[in-house]
Amino acid sequence: MSREPMIAPSLLSADFARLADEVARVADADWLHVDVMDAHFVPNLTLGLPVVQAIQEVSPVPLDCHLMIEDPERWAPGYAEVGARNVTVHVEACRDARAVARDIRAAGALAGLAIKPGTPLEDHLELLRDFDTLLVMSVEPGFGGQSFIADVLPKVREARRLVDSGELTLLVEIDGGINADTIEQAAEAGVDMFVAGSAVYGAQDPAAAIAALRAQAAAARPA
Active-site positions read 35, 175
**Contact (Cβ atoms closer than 8 angstroms) between residue 91 and residue 119:** yes
Q: Could you tell me the strand order of the sheet in which 133-137 lies? A: 6-9, 193-196, 171-175, 133-137, 110-115, 86-90, 63-68, 32-37
Other CB atoms within a 10 A radius of the CB of residue 80 amount to 21
Distance CA 138, CA 197 (A): 13
Distance CA 91, CA 126 (A): 12
Distance CA 56, CA 102 (A): 22
Distances (CA, A) of 101 to 3, 21, 50, 68, 105: 24, 32, 22, 15, 6
